[in-house]
Structure 1
Amino acid sequence: MSRPTGRVLTLLELLQSGGTRTVAELADRLGVEGRTVRRYVDHLIDLDVPVESVRGRYGGYRLAAGYRLPPLMFSEDEALAVLLGLVAGRRAGLTTTHRAASETASAKIRRVLPQHLARRLDTLLDTLAFTDEPGDVDTPDAEILLTVADAVRHRRPVSIRYSDRDGRRSERTLHAYGIVAHAGRWYVTGEDPRAGEDRTFRLDRIADARALPGSFEAPSGPDPAQRVLSGFATAAYRHEVTVRIHGTVEQIRARLPAGIAHLEEQELPAGQDASAERWRRVELRVERLDWLPPVLASLDRPFVIERPDELRDLVAALADRLASCARLA
């Protein structure tokens, strides 16, 4: 590749990064004079790349909005970062319903990787393990996701058609505070003005979303992620569990994070260290109990089950199995 051709491609890469670039800035980055920059711009225009000239004190050159760019020029590190991000996003379920888009994007980037980098990527993916197996996670529609995001950004009410976990459908207005990705799902949290209270909705259960006129003021207080986690900890489920655990907040939260458990805070006598080990009451609302005995055992802290009795039976059964295995060893 000749040096002028290489500089024209470098100019395109600079313009692709967004914004308006001054002639002086481009000349400095390319190591040429201003008139040479203008000649390179003419080369791009001859190739049907719509470069716009911006006049004024802060003028320069930029690409036309909405232009479908030719293949982006990534460095090896950038290409690897994009591919790993796509792989991790698919595994975590954090994609849209157009899942094929991430797969075709991965294939396009991988096809143009240098052979040695492609081999290194294959080696990494072959040796990479995930702690969670990928599940059949329902993902949101891309257009709905973008519509809700725009409503959050501009503090505009949004009308949604929603189906709850029992399949009941409703149409409601939402003052959306933020979008949260948690445990492989997308959520939107905000106020339902008709009910006068905060609500959290799964984005994949929203069938339609459209912005409404008007605006609203976002409240102070917890950020959207904390609102979603607090909602999980207090939602209605099949089983209500109360356990007293002797330990620090950090020890308990290591196995029972805020997204699934509410840790009761108590007033302490003056001078007592709030971070010290002591008995703390933990409350959970869960659909199934079978996963809790191993979690409680992994805490390696004394605990007392206050309710339900069924959980006591499951813990006792786990203890019997472990004791039996120990005797066999």
Structure 2
Amino acid sequence: MRNDPTGRALELLSLLQTHRFWNCAELAARLEVTERTVRRDVDRLRDLGYPVDSTSGKYGGYRLVTGAHVPPLILGDDEAVAVAVGLRYAAEAAIDGIEETSLRALTKIETLLPHRLRRRVSVLHSSVTSMRRAAVDDDIVDPEALSVLAAACRDHEHVRFDYRRGDGESSRRLVEPHQLVTAGRRWYLVAWDQHRCDWRTFRLDRLREPWLAGSHFTPREIPGGDAASFVASSLGPTPRHLDAKLTIHAAFAELEGVLRWIDHTPIEVEADRCLVQIRSEDLGRLAMTVARIALTAPVVVIEPAELADTVRKLASHLSVAPS
């Protein structure tokens, strides 16, 4: 018989965290104790905040259920490493507020990791880097909206929301949400549009204030049978389809701080100026990119002409209140 109550309770918790139903006699055999000891250890876990449900009788047993709060977790080595790595890269997701929350959780977990596991996590972080890009407010996803849509997908419930298309046009939508898809920092909703009687892909950063319509639908089969493939076909081969050429009146080395966040290619580099090609998804983003560069050095738009017109329009709308 095992006489270490703490070690025995931790092993019992590890078994219960599989979320299967365990017969009391089966647990007693696994732990090499009596059924009476199993019942005492279950009570000890309940005192610690773990919600253990039980059934009585000859074939009675126990199951770990959802509780009102998060109790301490028992993780295996591989699970602990996976959680730490996941939190590190969750901090780079385009979800409002998740960066600070993920880093707080990561700090708590890494503080408790044994040295051997901390080394595994550290080696992975030091060997992998992410291709970062400048944060754009319009790219940020509201976590509450994400929760509403996820619940609607799960419960097959209609959702209404306001949606802004890429060309700036806004409209009210009523959809049957089927699946959320991530692509890098972007989130998409695959849904059947009730008004257009067709499948649509919606970018979550362009979606505002979704709310449940209060009615349910029968799920349909997504074209191709796979939401990720449907989003990929909707986006096309590459989202960056607009190029522009700029003359920037500064040495290329002086522009490293601003260009590092921009998809760019240097074409001609001279001592006091450079010709650079930049790429983005639409004209508005190209214009904002030009404005960002202009904070560092004077910029002249060479092509396309539409971008030059957009930059001039942007400049004409900027003003400073008199002091």
Q: Is TM (by shorter chain) over 0.5?
A: yes
After superposition, the Cα gap between the structure-2 partners of 1:126 and 1:214, relative to the gap in structure 1 and judged at 3 Å, is closer
Distance, in Å, in 1 between the alignment partners of 2:34 and 2:160 is 54
| 1:212-266 C-alpha deviation (Å, 9 max, x unpaired) | 2131341353121222122112xxxxxxxxxxxxxxxxxxxxxxxxx439xxxxx
Compute the TM-score of the two structures, normalised by the length of structure 2: 0.65
Kept in 1, the 8 Å contact 2:162–2:208? The answer is yes
Amino acid at match of 1:172: R
- Which residue is equivalent to 1:218? 220
2:223 aligned counterpart, secondary structure: coil
- Which residue is equivalent to 1:38? 39
- Which residue is equivalent to 2:99? 99
2:113 aligned counterpart, secondary structure: coil
- Which residue is equivalent to 1:155? 156
Distance, in Å, in 1 between the alignment partners of 2:37 and 2:21 is 18
Report the alpha carbon displacement of residue 110 of structure 1 after superposing the two structures with TM.
0.5
- Which residue is equivalent to 2:313? none
Q: Which runs of 5+ in 1 are unaligned?
A: 234-258, 262-284, 295-309, 312-329
Kept in 2, the 8 Å contact 1:229–1:260? The answer is no
Distance, in Å, in 2 between the alignment partners of 1:46 and 1:154 is 34
Report the alpha carbon displacement of residue 6 of structure 1 after superposing the two structures with TM.
0.5
- Which residue is equivalent to 2:286? none
- Which residue is equivalent to 1:90? 91
**Selected match of 2:242 from 287, 300, 304:** 287
- Which residue is equivalent to 2:238? 260
Compute the TM-score of the two structures, normalised by the length of structure 1: 0.64
After superposition, the Cα gap between the structure-2 partners of 1:119 and 1:260, relative to the gap in structure 1 and judged at 3 Å, is closer
Report the alpha carbon displacement of residue 293 of structure 1 after superposing the two structures with TM.
10
After superposition, the Cα gap between the structure-2 partners of 1:85 and 1:46, relative to the gap in structure 1 and judged at 3 Å, is closer
Kept in 2, the 8 Å contact 1:50–1:64? The answer is yes
Distance, in Å, in 2 between the alignment partners of 1:56 and 1:139 is 53
Kept in 1, the 8 Å contact 2:91–2:100? The answer is no
Kept in 1, the 8 Å contact 2:51–2:66? The answer is no
Q: How does 1:122-271 map to 2 (within 5 A)?
A: 122-130=122-130, 132-136=131-135, 138-165=139-166, 167-212=168-213, 213-219=215-221, 221-222=223-224, 223-233=226-236, 259-260=237-238
Kept in 2, the 8 Å contact 1:97–1:139? The answer is no
Report the alpha carbon displacement of residue 186 of structure 1 after superposing the two structures with TM.
0.8
Amino acid at match of 1:115: H
Distance, in Å, in 2 between the alignment partners of 1:203 and 1:80 is 30
After superposition, the Cα gap between the structure-2 partners of 1:121 and 1:167, relative to the gap in structure 1 and judged at 3 Å, is same
Report the alpha carbon displacement of residue 180 of structure 1 after superposing the two structures with TM.
1.0
Q: Identity rate of aligned residues, in percent?
A: 37
| 1:162-197 C-alpha deviation (Å, 9 max, x unpaired) | 333455443211112321111321100122111222
| 1:70-109 C-alpha deviation (Å, 9 max, x unpaired) | 3212222221111112223334x26564332211111111
What is the number of equivalent residue pairs in this alignment? 246
After superposition, the Cα gap between the structure-2 partners of 1:76 and 1:217, relative to the gap in structure 1 and judged at 3 Å, is closer
Distance, in Å, in 2 between the alignment partners of 1:217 and 1:51 is 34
After superposition, the Cα gap between the structure-2 partners of 1:19 and 1:95, relative to the gap in structure 1 and judged at 3 Å, is farther
Distance, in Å, in 2 between the alignment partners of 1:216 and 1:135 is 41
- Please tell me whether residue 23 in structure 1 is matched to residue 21 in structure 2: no
Distance, in Å, in 2 between the alignment partners of 1:117 and 1:57 is 43
After superposition, the Cα gap between the structure-2 partners of 1:22 and 1:160, relative to the gap in structure 1 and judged at 3 Å, is farther
Distance, in Å, in 2 between the alignment partners of 1:73 and 1:16 is 8
- Which residue is equivalent to 2:52? 51
- Which residue is equivalent to 1:115? 115
Q: Which runs of 5+ in 2 are unaligned?
A: 246-262, 267-302, 305-323
Distance, in Å, in 1 between the alignment partners of 2:97 and 2:167 is 21
